[in-house]
Chains A and B, each alone.
Chain A
């Protein structure tokens, strides 16, 4: 590793010699493993080695990026020269520049890597295939009219090394594990319905033997949910009160608000949050945070102690009790908007330059118990689990809940099939009426965030359950 760090440092020196005002060089050596079983067949058992170097050169506030899969000095110098040439050729066209401002060097220490009891590299393949077998077998026991059961396990871990013109020297270990199950069942009328469950984050394998997270827990939940969906009805269309679970609160925090708070959209004016620091955007019950340093044992999540520009992870209150307080930054946007860098400059792999991305984004918990929340909902839709979502630059969003319940006068009436929630985030934040005391953050190996051509990036998202008025539901008229 020492030799590699020296090679990266030489690349930085070489870039500066060419004329770059600032140079960053980073090395990833990550191992990925995917296991997938469908019914009785193993569809996928694979390992991936993702090793390479990425170099960013800055010329007059413009960045050029290049990369190579070969960690030799010759190839890294060639990548550095390409990055410099890209920046140099692009610089005259820039109307808005994001130069790096001086900061003290950052040095990592061993404790920056989150320790886990049983690291996935300490267990062999049969141990992991058995996790999936147990999941699938349990799902089969609990489901009915099953057409298909998929069990998935994924792990991603390895070194991330970084240096730059300031002499920062960062070396830490990335870790994500994930266990999931998806059950597809068929109704008497021939329609297909799904049930799913899973949990992932910066966990050791011991996590999957803990209460609520075992393969049996995951399989049972997925199977039972698919079974319940056989009797579910279509969601009515229209505007209703809503109770959204922790997963959906997370998608709302991430997709609907988090992306708009990413400062690369702010410096260009593309975000409707541009110039609105200090403005009240939501009710006092609405607070949204982003952190690379979650309490994983307590809430779950993804451990990101440094971003890919070498900035330490932090805890950023983006929306505090309804008031916009801070954006999410890379070093350039932070300098431009005179805010502190937040540790949100991330890349999917060495093939991509770091851009402003979230880490773990979540609504802050409130004071309600689960019972009080459903009582507060009164009549409306209780929406659970996420199939993802999307937001436009004008703040309009859509996200899909896997399932739901129709609730009347605080009492659950009947299950609903896939539920789509939509609206405009800036309007919706003014309708948040309350939050429960629980906080859960989910991350994972499967899926993740997409931005530009960089996908999927592991992120955490979560929150408590939220009671919201006036949510538009797409469904049956």
Chain B
């Protein structure tokens, strides 16, 4: 399939599947999802090149009959394959007696939003160009310092499209594309190994790889000579934009989702309208940002994507729902249906049952520069600049987290003093938001597509 015509072709496959399904069992309600994604990826890992190019294509069918539900998916988007998915979903639903009494039907048709602004020059990027970008990032990093020993650079371009058709009249499609690159640098001196990362992702322009290798290398080299903190104590911690993005995604990013809200496993479920964070915090999930890599016209069940305010000046304002959980909560879908579990999504969305996911979390910047945040700390404090290890292994329900931050610096009397060795940081996510002392002005798009400024928290225990 070609980018220009892919939506029409997928809509045709979805329509074929839906018509076939209805013929098989007119008493059942169906939803057909068809996905097609094309991508090329090149990695240059310390001189070892690996390259991949291929098409991920498949379809998923949901069927509902007397409140009994079935799901089946198959790889491939040919008519025989979509018909196979229909038959298998029917065989599931016909062999179970269990009902979901809360199911009220698939998604109702409700307009469409906008797709991301896609720069079609991305389609013309050749493999040789991806190789050249990887070589450029590697060369830059190595030029910074002879201690830069290991450099891994990767670039990819991809475009994806999907169509949804269901028995309630939805027949919609969306498409998007992006370029991404990342460079990981390790600087080695004796037994000391320090790392740095640079990355870029964009849908509305070609990726900017220039400067990333140098930036990552300087970050890695700058941590040599790290001292041991030698302390177990409760200290103020500044989480830089990358670290803060991971913090927000693994806490609120999971706790605001429809399922834990409806099932009461989220500690936020009874907090609508309550003050749950410092008034300095506002949090939005923006599925309609023109330059957002997660921006699509429709979500994974055909509902229009939209912009949702979750926290406004510290007050809980909204949760995120697909149509199932939206109906159960009484507020309807927020356009956040997703296919693919966890905070990272999946490269093979048709294999996942529908769920609820964030599209593009964003914390508006505050007024304090990073230096002003640091200078507001009396005595000792910690600056964390990486996404700490274990942040995505924490339990959203309890809010307890314990992570190891590798790229960390000691703050003393308002100034960043020196790099320190990896240390353990522990606390409770939600207590942290209540004790949020400052929001930086340095908002940046992190690797996990969360746009966050630096955040200064009180009350976490550090061991180092």
Chain A residues close to B by CB (< 8 Å): 32, 34, 37-39, 41-52, 62-70, 79, 82-83, 85-87, 89-98, 124-126, 129, 147-148, 184, 190-194, 234, 237-239, 264, 267-270, 272, 349, 351-353, 387-400, 417-420, 422, 424, 453, 472-477
A44 touches B353 (CB 8 A): yes
B89: chain A residues within 8 A (beta carbon): 47
B54 touches A351 (CB 8 A): yes
A46: chain B residues within 8 A (beta carbon): 70-73, 92, 353
A70 in contact with B76 given A351-B54, A477-B232 (CB within 8 Å): yes
User: CB-defined interface of B229-245 with A at 8 Å, one 1/0 digit per residue?
Assistant: 00011100000000000
Q: How far is the CA of A152 from the CA of B299 in the complex (A)?
A: 26
B426 touches A388 (CB 8 A): no
Q: How far is the CA of A391 from the CA of B69 in the complex (A)?
A: 40
What's the least CB distance linking A75 to chain B, in Å?
Answer: 10
B194: chain A residues within 8 A (beta carbon): 394
The one of B50, B71, B127, B395 in contact with A353, judged by C-beta atoms closer than 8 angstroms, is: B50
21 example contacts (A-B, Cβ-Cβ < 8 A) are as follows: A44-B353, A46-B73, A49-B85, A49-B88, A64-B51, A65-B50, A66-B52, A67-B54, A67-B55, A86-B53, A87-B51, A89-B131, A97-B48, A125-B92, A190-B267, A237-B424, A270-B152, A393-B195, A419-B402, A474-B402, A474-B463
Q: How far is the CA of A111 from the CA of B3 in the complex (A)?
A: 47
The one of B49, B73, B152, B265 in contact with A48, judged by C-beta atoms closer than 8 angstroms, is: B73
Chain B residues with a Cβ closer than 8 Å to the other chain, count: 87
What's the least CB distance linking A191 to chain B, in Å?
Answer: 6
What's the least CB distance linking B326 to chain A, in Å?
Answer: 16
B128 touches A89 (CB 8 A): yes
The one of A90, A125, A184, A239 in contact with B131, judged by C-beta atoms closer than 8 angstroms, is: A90
Chain B residues close to A by CB (< 8 Å): 40, 42, 44-58, 69-78, 81, 84-85, 88-89, 92, 95-102, 126-128, 131, 134-135, 149-150, 152, 186, 188, 191-195, 232-234, 263-265, 267, 347-348, 351, 353, 389-390, 393-395, 397-398, 400-404, 406, 422, 424-426, 461, 463
B426: chain A residues within 8 A (beta carbon): 237, 420, 474-476
B55: chain A residues within 8 A (beta carbon): 67-69
Q: Which residue of B lies closest to A239 (CB)?
A: B463
What's the least CB distance linking A245 to chain B, in Å?
Answer: 17
B351 touches A48 (CB 8 A): yes
A474: chain B residues within 8 A (beta carbon): 402-404, 424-426, 461, 463
A389 touches B195 (CB 8 A): no
B186 touches A270 (CB 8 A): yes
A394 touches B53 (CB 8 A): no
What's the least CB distance linking A423 to chain B, in Å?
Answer: 9
B73: chain A residues within 8 A (beta carbon): 46-49
A391: chain B residues within 8 A (beta carbon): 389
The one of B81, B101, B134, B193 in contact with A41, judged by C-beta atoms closer than 8 angstroms, is: B101
A45 touches B267 (CB 8 A): no
B77: chain A residues within 8 A (beta carbon): 69
The one of B47, B50, B188, B348 in contact with A63, judged by C-beta atoms closer than 8 angstroms, is: B50
A422 in contact with B186 given A453-B347, A474-B463, A476-B426 (CB within 8 Å): no
B191: chain A residues within 8 A (beta carbon): 272
Q: How far is the CA of A66 from the CA of B39 in the complex (A)?
A: 10
A147 touches B57 (CB 8 A): no
What's the least CB distance linking A121 to chain B, in Å?
Answer: 13
A192 touches B265 (CB 8 A): yes
A68: chain B residues within 8 A (beta carbon): 54-55
B424 touches A472 (CB 8 A): yes
Closest 8 CB pairs between A and B? A95-B47, A420-B402, A474-B402, A268-B46, A96-B47, A46-B71, A474-B426, A394-B193
Besides A42-B98, A422-B422, 12 new A-B residue pairs in contact (Cβ under 8 A), listed by A number: A41-B100, A45-B98, A64-B53, A70-B76, A93-B44, A268-B47, A268-B150, A272-B193, A420-B390, A453-B347, A474-B402, A477-B233
A47 touches B92 (CB 8 A): yes
Q: How far is the CA of A296 from the CA of B369 in the complex (A)?
A: 57
B127 touches A89 (CB 8 A): yes
What's the least CB distance linking A446 to chain B, in Å?
Answer: 10
What's the least CB distance linking B103 to chain A, in Å?
Answer: 9
A193: chain B residues within 8 A (beta carbon): 398
A93 in contact with B461 given A192-B265, A453-B347 (CB within 8 Å): no
Q: How far is the CA of A389 from the CA of B397 in the complex (A)?
A: 18
The one of B52, B76, B397 in contact with A51, judged by C-beta atoms closer than 8 angstroms, is: B76
A475 touches B78 (CB 8 A): no
B98: chain A residues within 8 A (beta carbon): 37, 42, 45, 129
B424 touches A422 (CB 8 A): yes
B233: chain A residues within 8 A (beta carbon): 477
A475: chain B residues within 8 A (beta carbon): 402, 426, 461
Q: Which residue of A lies closest to B231 (CB)?
A: A477
Q: How far is the CA of A392 from the CA of B186 in the complex (A)?
A: 11
Q: Which residue of B lies closest to A30 (CB)?
A: B75
B395 touches A418 (CB 8 A): yes
What's the least CB distance linking A228 to chain B, in Å?
Answer: 15
Q: How far is the CA of A147 from the CA of B267 in the complex (A)?
A: 11
